[in-house]
A and B are shown apart, each in its own frame.
Chain A
Amino acid sequence: MAGLPRFLAGRLIKAIVILFAIVVINFLLVHAAPGDPAMVMAGEAGAADPKFVEQLRQQFGLDRPLLEQLATYVSHVATGDLGFSYRQQQSVWDLLLARLPATLVLTLTAFVFALVVGIVLGTLAAVRAGSVSDSAITVLALLAYATPIYWVGLMLMLLFSVQLGWLPAFGYETVGGGLSGFARMIDIGEHLLLPALTLGMFYMAVYARMTRASILEVRDMDFVKTARAKGLSHGAVVVRHVLRNAILPVITVAGVQAGHLIGGSILIETVFAWPGLGRLAFEAVLQRDYQVLLGIFFISSVMVIVFNILTDLIYSLVDPRIDLAR
């Protein structure tokens, strides 16, 4: 694996370029927004006290030429200074860090659920193409694809928490439960179940449809005919030759989209009062706290990039045609 460090270096450079571009976008957004940039940064025009606004003006050199302001802004971000939330009286960076773990737990669970169940369902549908179970899976995927996830979240909550009382309706864990260790993990798991299911459902549908289409496509390829001509049984042909080739493209796309789960988590965390970045984003929207919003935009972009690098790595380990040193 001599190519691995070089591959990582290449991806890292690319990631830095993208991050820089996102910082520039953030900067431009603040300046393109209607009104005084200092006011925008302070959030909720007029609510911030003049002293704080003046301090912002100083800190970001808002009376300097635009390019100089950009340089100041970039250097602030580079040193981990994403600004200060006047509303929350806390640095944005601290706010984000406090909320990050909850979001990671939620999105990762949802992603694994979506990928595993999606691929399994898609495979089942493709192998029995044309059968009742294929139609059922196809319809299910179509529905999941069309349903607004926040609404499903509400409906599931209504059913499982309000009507049946099986699962907690919101939160990360039972408040004041005083649980620790394994019991606490079970408690968090119970709280996690509904939000993760809801968040993963849309992407599960996406991956199921993709897997099905991919398998049907690979099944018609020449090398599958070769495998059948060897005298392999139908099942062996599917498992040994079709599946691996069919799932590879699904994983690539999944990796690219994994980051988008973070977008969905804004909605799900709002519905289930999950104390992560999404919930923070909703609060920031309500309070027009733009510094926090832009911070969330920045950190979720970082998460997407990390996801992409990880899937690239997995992909290049699985597919012999990808030469890491390339």
Chain B
Amino acid sequence: MQSMNFWRAYARNKGAVIGLLIMAVVVVLGLFAPLIYPESPWDMVNAPFLGPMEEGSLLGTDTLGRDIASGIAHGARVSLLIGLTSTAVALVIGVTLGALAGFFGGWVDDTLMRFTELFQTIPNFVLTVVLVAIFTPSQGSIVLAIAIVSWPPLARLARAEFMALRSREFVQAAITTGQSNATIIFREILPNSLSPLIVSSSLMVATAVLLESSLSFLGLGDPNAMSWGYMVGAARTVIRQAWWMSFFPGLAILLTVLALNLIGEGLNDALNPRVARKGKA
């Protein structure tokens, strides 16, 4: 019954439904890319510099005759994979540190928050670039670099939630009825702090997809995987002659990130009804 309410609240946000539909297309495209385009997206399959709809090529070919549509389908895998895994890693780091700081307070909080502050001060994209460049681009280094610059907001959020809930009376009641710290954290506090964390992580996947595409635009993507940012970056120098080579991959990024943001807002409306102030004068 609660899930029914959730869907009704979610569906009331039309943008969120559109976001979910776009996302479904992207996921399907990524999942079935090897079936739709069995050849490697790195292979030259047609004449170079073909425009969209020319010679049986849906979105045209690039400077080396590689199929743009195929690249976009295969690129969806990379974007989603890196977006999700780096968010998961950031979530683990951020929630752990934030929860510890918020739950224990005192010097634990002070130390962890100074540490978080340091990472918030560092210009995050510059650090990602430095990290990936030094540790040589690979899926692992990219995921790690994105996670390292993304966790601080999650840590702050988790800390704020834990702190607020820690002083809530039902948590104090759990302490006074002799519950263990683990029970208090996992059964009393965490379930009640989940909604804002879910909303933030859905938005963070969007940021991670953008970061990954920016890295591969600069040539710091995983050299073995076709990615949207790489396609835009490679087509940058021929933009005057062949607009489609950078236009379509960029559009794919835009739609995916937009969809993730819309989903995040829908989740926010559905999970934090009090924060959503639609219709309120």
Contact = CB atoms under 8 A, between A and B. Distances in A.
A209 to B, nearest CB: 10
B126 A296 contact: yes
Nearest to B131: A29
Contacts of A27: none
B49 interface: no
B239 A151 contact: no
A264 B262 CA distance: 23
Contacts of B233: 150
Contacts of A296: 126, 130
A284 B239 CA distance: 23
Nearest to B278: A130
A113 B25 CA distance: 36
Nearest to A290: B134
Contacts of B218: 266-267, 270, 282, 285
A157 interface: yes
A40 B262 contact: no
A297 interface: yes
A301 B121 contact: yes
A148 interface: yes
Interface size range on B against A: 35 or more
B120 to A, nearest CB: 7
A270 B280 CA distance: 45
A57 interface: no
Interface stretch (A60-68, A138-146, A310-318): A138-146
A150 B229 CA distance: 9
Contacts of B124: 260, 263
A297 B127 contact: yes
A300 B130 contact: no
A150 B129 contact: no
Interface in B194-244: 206, 210, 213-214, 217-220, 229, 232-233, 236, 239-240, 243
B121 A308 contact: yes
Interface string B5-47: 0000000000100000000000000000000000000000000
Interface in A142-188: 142-143, 145-148, 150-151, 154-155, 157-158, 162
Contact of B261 (A142, A154, A220): A142
Contacts of A262: 123, 126
B141 to A, nearest CB: 10
A293 interface: yes
Contacts of A271: 236
B136 interface: yes
Interface in B95-149: 118, 120-127, 129-131, 133-136
A147 B254 CA distance: 5
B246 interface: yes
Contact of A285 (B127, B129, B232): B129
B123 A285 contact: no
A96 interface: no
A296 B129 CA distance: 11
A22 interface: yes
A34 B136 contact: yes
Given A256-B120, A285-B219, A146 B129 contact: no
B125 A148 contact: no
Interface residues of A, number: 53
Contact of B214 (A21, A25, A148): A148
B258 interface: yes
Given A33-B134, A148-B210, A22 B122 contact: yes
B78 interface: no
A150 B134 contact: no
B257 interface: yes
Interface string A9-21: 0000000001001
A304 interface: yes
A285 B122 CA distance: 19
A254 to B, nearest CB: 14
Nearest to B246: A154
B250 interface: yes
Contact of A18 (B121, B135, B243): B121
Contacts of B253: 147-148, 151
A142 B71 CA distance: 26
Interface string B243-267: 1001100100110011001100000
Which 6 residue pairs of A and B lie closest in terms of their CB atoms, listed nearest first? A263-B125, A151-B250, A146-B258, A146-B257, A33-B134, A300-B123
Interface of B: 15, 118, 120-127, 129-131, 133-136, 206, 210, 213-214, 217-220, 229, 232-233, 236, 239-240, 243, 246-247, 250, 253-254, 257-258, 261-262, 277, 280
16 contacts: A18-B118, A146-B210, A147-B254, A148-B253, A151-B250, A220-B277, A266-B218, A267-B125, A281-B129, A285-B220, A293-B133, A297-B122, A300-B126, A304-B121, A304-B123, A308-B121
